[in-house]
Amino acid sequence: MKARGALVAVLFCVACSGPASSPPLPAAPTPSPFAPCPGAPPTPTLYPPPTPPFSIAITPDPIWVGVDRRSGGMDGPVVPNNGVWRMAVLATGQLHGSITQVERALRDRQSGALLGRRTDSGPFLENGGTPCRVFDPLLAYGNQRFAYNDDLGFMGRSAILETTITILDTAGRNWSVSQTSSWELLPPPVPRSPVRTIVRQNDPESGCPFDPVHGYGLLLNLSWDPPARDIPDIYYYVEVSDGAGRPLIVNSQGVRLIYTTSATSVRIPQCGVHVDSLGEHGATFALASGVLASLAVSGWSVATFDFQSCRAAGTPACH
């Protein structure tokens, strides 16, 4: 690619709006630094309730798992990354307790094979203000939150996370509550245009002033279809290279940029630029998905296209 002058590329990131796949986790009260240290509430009854007095909420569900950034660029192997999720443990009534164990097991959805397991025996305490240095949120308030970023052996196939929590209530009874959630590999979007077609160079529709070397520059009209699955807060990474592998979305120093947007199309005019004969054939249009909440990024989907000869594309011609 030959270029003269500054090539401006826009880089921005906007999260899509839309309904979440699961309700938000309830907020846990924060103790005042001047309040007395919270203690266990009185036990309502010594008789066990007919149903477990605790529940688990996990969000998001499904957990969209991206590709490890260490897998390289568009030609790198697909290596699934960690799962990122939040969990809340809730007392459903007046009976509170303390968590004594959290177990997480990930299984392949189709075969049931165990992919990975984590067991944590606590203590599950949080830092408080003065005079409370530490306190037990579930015991004190009936609400405790956790955040996870775990590698549980996910292989890129649909999987089920089984979460089991053991709680000792204030009457000395042990309770076990469980919840399942899904893990899915984040899919990339599908390129729609340009795909196996010819893109004009020296195009007055770019809005660029005519340059005797580069003509009217390039106009990249790119569009794609979102993944078939409903994925909240999705956005997209966009890369374009000519047939010689040279990036066409660059900053003023010619360094490759990845265009980021929540839309499913983008119009990128580039002035003072044209693709020479070495890069006219086999140009690539690459896309990846991203999820704002977890920063997961999918693998790339890549389409190819050709550029029309810059000299043949318009009058007056570029050189």
Please check the confidence at residue 20 and state whether its pLDDT lies above 70. no
- Specify the CATH number for the domain of residue 105: 2.60.40.2550
- Between 22 and 200, the more confident residue is 200
Same domain, 181 and 191: no
Q: Is residue 36 part of a domain?
A: no
Query: H or E segment at 54?
Result: strand 54-59
2-6, 18-22, 43-47, 302-306, range with greatest mean pLDDT: 302-306
Q: Is residue 48 part of a domain?
A: no
Q: Is residue 40 part of a domain?
A: no
Closest to 299 (Cα-Cα) out of 311, 310, 287, 307: 287
Same domain, 98 and 151: yes
Signed CA dihedral, 136, 142, 148, 154: sign only: positive
Please check the confidence at residue 9 and state whether its pLDDT lies above 50. no
Please check the confidence at residue 34 and state whether its pLDDT lies above 60. no
Same domain, 78 and 174: yes
- Between 104 and 3, the more confident residue is 104
The predicted pLDDT at position 68 comes to 73
- Between 275 and 73, the more confident residue is 275
Please check the confidence at residue 149 and state whether its pLDDT lies above 60. yes
Same domain, 79 and 198: no
Same domain, 58 and 181: yes
Mean pLDDT of the chain: 83
Report the phi/psi class of residue 272: left, alpha or beta, with left for phi > 0 and alpha for psi in -120 to 50: left
State the Cα angle at 200 between 198 and 201, rounded to 5°: 135
230-282, pLDDT tens digit by residue?
A: 898 999 999 999 999 999 988 777 778 889 999 999 999 988 889 998 999 99
| Domain end position, chosen among 140, 166, 185 | 185
Q: State the pLDDT confidence band at 99, using cuts at 50, 70 and 90.
A: very high
- Between 88 and 23, the more confident residue is 88
Q: Is residue 21 part of a domain?
A: no
Q: Parallel, antiparallel, or unpaired: how do β-strands 174-185 and 159-169 relate?
A: antiparallel
Q: Is residue 33 part of a domain?
A: no
Q: Is residue 135 part of a domain?
A: yes
Percent over 70 (pLDDT), the chain: 79
Same domain, 153 and 273: no
Structure tokens belonging to residue 278: 């070495």
| Domain end position, chosen among 139, 165, 185 | 185
| Overall number of domains in the chain | 2
Neighbours of 88 (CB within 10 A): 19
Quote the domain boundaries for residue 110: 54-185
Burial of 169 (0-12, 13-18, 19+ CB in 10 A): buried
- What is the pTM for the complete model shown? 0.77
The predicted pLDDT at position 21 comes to 44
The predicted pLDDT at position 255 comes to 78
Q: Is residue 44 part of a domain?
A: no
Q: Please, are residues 176 and 164 in contact by the beta-carbon 8 Å criterion?
A: yes
Q: Is residue 282 part of a domain?
A: yes
Please check the confidence at residue 17 and state whether its pLDDT lies above 50. no
